Each structure stands twice: as structure tokens, then as C-alpha cells.
Structure 1
Amino acid sequence: MTDPNTSSAINGFLNGETILVTGGARGLGEAITRAAVQAGAHVVVDYLHSESRAKALEAEFPGQITAIQADVTDEADVKRLFADARAALGRPITGVVNNALVSFSFNGDDRPKADTITWSDFEHQLLGAVKGSVTVIQQALPGFEEAGYGRVLNIGTNLFQNPVVPYHDYTAAKGALLAVTRTFAQELGARNVTVNMVSGGLLRTTDASSATPDAVFDIIAQSTPLGHVTTPQELADAALFFLSPLSRAVSGQNLIVDGGYVKG
């Protein structure tokens, strides 16, 4: 019998798919990369500074991962990323995960409050979450058309529903990305492209959330129906649905994956 608390049931789930995961070498991105590989996909891992981690993944999964450096906020870099992936694999990318996060630390005590946050703080997050994601989607479209379909998955946050910490810039940027998710879903549906979002809460643990005090994790766990803080692996497994043919009739949706902490 398969243990329902493991990912073992997803083997072969994404056979034949070629998935790009931005920021795919560390944190949640690495968890999504590993889950997608286990499910049978070939994963293109985009990285900016995490070369050693990306190359280690490539070595760990030979023939299943292609690591390529690119800054998603740079349009020329993203164009090169897709060209390099096509040259290496000889086939189009069929799904993208917009996961890359510009520098951010999930420590509410160390974030600027409403009276001190600057517009440049907002611009910084908008550049990564919105410009980066839009640029990646635009460069993916020719490959989607060639394949006859495409899957886009944007990474959001449950802070839309429960803004309990002053992550003003981060939450605003992810809120804008949710709007893009829905407007792009409306337009790109005619091209057989689905665009969705999966939103976690604080994950235990990623590089970004490592600054979070243990007491905060404990409070969240006590307030969550499942009794624990969601892991990157748990969110990654849920993300696979949106990259697979099983989600072909689902678009413009935002799935909250936080153990039931936030309701709808």
C-alpha cells in the first residue's frame, strides 16, 4: 500500500513533459524540481547565483535535468534561456513554474513597516514577481504553440487572505501576479494554455524562511488543522497537478496549500 504521506504515487505522472522551474535549484524551487523529475519530467533548472546547487542537481539526475543560468528580470537573459534549452533538448518547453524570488527574508520583525517602507522596496518585488513571470510566459508561448498546449504555474502566497505579517512589498507583488494569472488565463485559453497559481503559507523550511523564529512556526502549526507547517515537498506535490494533463480544464485558479490554515 502506498503511504499517503509520501510522493511515491507520482512516478510517471509527467512522462514526456519538459518543465522549466525558475529559481529551481534551491528552496521551494528545488522541491518542485525534484518532484517533477520523480514524476517523469525533464526539468530545466533556471538559476541566478546558485550554480553549485544547480550543477549538483544536474549531476544527481543525469539526463533528467538541464541547468541554465539566467536572470528572469532580464528579457535578453530569458530569451537566451529558452534558446539554450531548445538547443540542448531539441524540443519545446511544455510547462513553466514561475518560482524565482528576488532577495527576501521571511522575518516579520526585520521587515520595513508601513511608515518606513519605500517605493523601491515595492519595485524590487514587482520586478521579480511580475516582470520576471510575464517575460518567462511570453518566451514560452512559441514552444507552447508548437507543442499544441502549455501549462503555466505561478507561485503565490496565502498572505492575500491572511496578511498577518508586514510583508507589504512581497504580498503586493504576489497579488499583482494573481491578477496576471487570471487575465493571462482568460486570453491564453484559446491557445490551449492554462495559467494557474499555487499559494503556500510559510514553509518549513527554505532558505528564505530560515530566518523565521521557531516560535512563529510553532504558532502556525498549532493553528493548522493538519497540525504541522507545510513543507516545500508538500507544496511541490500539489503543484504537479497544474503541470499535468489532469489539470487541462483548470485555469485562472489559485490553490491554497497550507494545511488548512487559511480558508479559501
Structure 2
Amino acid sequence: MTQDAQRRVAVVTGGSRGIGLESARLLAGNGLAVVVCSRHQGEADAAAKEITAAGGTALGTGADVSDEDAVVALFDLAESTYGGIDVVVHAAAHAGLGRTTTVAELDLAVLDELYRTNIRGTFMVAQQAARRMRDGGAIITFSTAVVQLAMPGYGAYSASKGAIEAFTLILAREMGGRDITVNAVAPGPTATELFLEGKDDATLAGLAARAPMNRLGTPAEIAEVVAFLAGPAGHWVNGQVIQVNGGVL
């Protein structure tokens, strides 16, 4: 256990790449001990090693957030290593954004995958957070600007993220007596490795053009909002879906 009993501790799922990794870096830079969770142990270890080399405190662990036992083990590890949990950032999600199809043509197996990871996985992580977090902390989930934009072809993905928004707002009310804030961050098109994969230049240009600044967001820009919500400056923000999309239309 860390010698500094006052150190705040964060669990970051999906923390080995993209927005999750940038969030873990920022939180560690702000003095939190960070448990970096990834589906792949090697990637989690690499992220934790990078954070540690930069002067932070981090531990990597592999866990599938759609597996209940794995989620319980993740929180067990955070508590046994650092003595408690103050911030939970659930950045892990199913990569359903790349699977566009109309509702009429939807393969229900895809819907089931989205449900298992995005809805059930988020619920299980938040459930463990609600049971175990120290008072005064912050829970941050992830939605998407696609819910607000109501784009054809994204029915299943938007439905899974819309469920997260509804669930997040209810959890905020349930946690209020413990001074724990609960918010959802809803990024617009963001230049993560996962988002860029499989998209040609014309597609990316079209997505960038939807924002008045005519560009994609960066993972670091989204992570800045996460760090704000996790820290004292953002603690009066509660029960909100924060659109971080550059004004995307």
C-alpha cells in the first residue's frame, strides 16, 4: 500500500490507448495513483510503465469490463494496492461506431455485443464504484455526440450510449448523499487510433467539416474535461452529459 494515505486513487478502464490513456496520464500528472485497465495485460503494463517513467504512480491490469468477475477483481486490486478508490473513469467501450446499419438491417448479434460491453459493462463498473468508492469522489462515464446528432445508421450504437446517459443521471442522484459526482462525457469525432481505423481521407474530412473549427478533436482535449470533472474545480458539476465536440453539427 502506498505510504501516502492521503493520495487520491483513480481507476481508468480503457486506459491503455486513446482518450483513456490521455486521461490516465493527466490524472497521474495531477498526483493521483492510477490503476490502468485494458483488455490486454501487456498494453495495460506498457501504459503504466510510461506513466511511472514520467514521474507518476500507476499499475496496469488486464480485465474485460463485460466480465463481472474481472470487474470485481479490478476493484479488489485497486483497493489492496492503494487503500481505496476516489475516481473511476470508464473509458472502455465497444467499438460499435464503425458498424453503421439501419435498424431494419441490424444484425441482432451486434446489438447484443453493444449491450454487453457498453450497457452491462458500464453498469457493472459503476456498481462496483458505488459500493466501494470513498466519499467525495467522482465517477465519469462515456457517451457520444452521435446520440445528440441522431445520425441514420447509428441506431444500435446510439441506443447503447443513450442508455449510459440515462443511467448516469440517475446514479448521480443516488450518490449525492456521499458527495460523489457522476457525469458522462460525450465526445464528438476524435482522432483516436480506433476512430481513424478503416476510414479514408474523404470520410475523415467530411467528419472534420461537421465541426465549425473544421477538424477532429484530440484525445488530450477530451482528457482535459475528464481531469476537470475528477478534480476539485469540477466538483460542483454533477448529473450532466458534457458535450465535448467542438460544436459539431
Task: Verify same fold: TM over 0.5.
Answer: yes
Cα drift, residue 185 of structure 1:
0.9
Aligned to 1:66: 59
CA deviation vs aligned residue, 1:152-205 (integer Å, no higher than 9, x gap) = 101110111213351222111000000001111111111211110111112113
Q: Does 1:249 align with 2:240?
A: no
- 3-state DSSP of counterpart to 2:119: helix
Q: Secondary structure at the match of 2:143?
A: strand
Look up the SS of the partner of 1:197 in the other structure. Answer: strand
Compared with structure 1, are the counterparts of its residues 103 and 255 closer, same or farther at alpha carbon in structure 2 (3 Å cutoff)? closer
1:97 pairs, out of 82, 89, 92, with 89
Identity of aligned residues (%): 30
Give the Cα–Cα distance (whole angstroms) in 2 for the partners of residues 259 and 25 of structure 1.
24
Contact residue 9 and residue 86 of structure 2 kept, 8 A:
yes
Report the counterpart of residue 126 of structure 1 in structure 2.
Answer: 115
Give structure 1 regions of 4+ aligned residues with deviation exceeding 6 angstroms. Answer: none
Tell whether the 8 Å contact from 1:202 to 1:209 is kept in structure 2 after alignment.
no
RMSD of aligned alpha carbons: 1.9
Q: Which residue of 1 aligns with 2:3?
A: none
Q: Secondary structure of the equivalent of 1:19?
A: strand
Match of 1:11 in 2: none
Query: Cα–Cα, structure 1 residues 101 and 166, in superposed 2: closer, same or farther, change >3 Å?
Result: same
2:203 maps to 216
Contact 2:189 2:208 in 1 (8 A): no
Counterpart in 1 of 2:43? 53
User: How far apart are 1:53 and its partner, in Å?
Assistant: 2.1
Map of 1:10 onto structure 2: none
Q: Which residue of 2 aligns with 1:160?
A: 147
Report if aligned partners of 1:44, 1:68 keep a CA contact under 8 Å in 2.
Answer: yes
Q: Is the 2:90–2:122 contact (alpha carbons within 8 Å) kept by the matching residues of 1?
A: yes
Matched AA of 1:87: S
SS of structure 2 residue aligned to 1:233: helix
Q: Find the partner of 1:184 among 171, 188, 199.
A: 171
Count residues with an aligned counterpart.
Answer: 241
- Find the residue that maps to 1:196 and give its secondary structure: strand
What is the rounded CA distance, in whole Å, between the counterparts of 1:215 and 1:42 in structure 2? 41
8 Å Cα contact 1:28-1:206 kept in structure 2: no
Letter in 1 for 2:124: T
Q: Equivalents in 2 of 1:122, 1:25: separation in Å? A: 25
Q: TM-score, normalised by structure 2?
A: 0.89
Matching of residue 234 in structure 1 with residue 221 in structure 2:
yes
Asked whether the equivalents of residues 32 and 237 of structure 1 are also in contact (C-alpha less than 8 Å), the reply is yes
Is contact 1:55–1:67 with CA below 8 Å preserved after alignment?
yes
Provide Cα deviations, 1:87-110, integer angstroms capped at 9, x if missing partner. Answer: 222x21101111111343x44xx5
Q: Which residue of 1 aligns with 2:26?
A: 35
Sort the Cα spacing of 1:54 and 1:165 in 2 relative to 1 into closer, same or farther, 3 A. Answer: farther
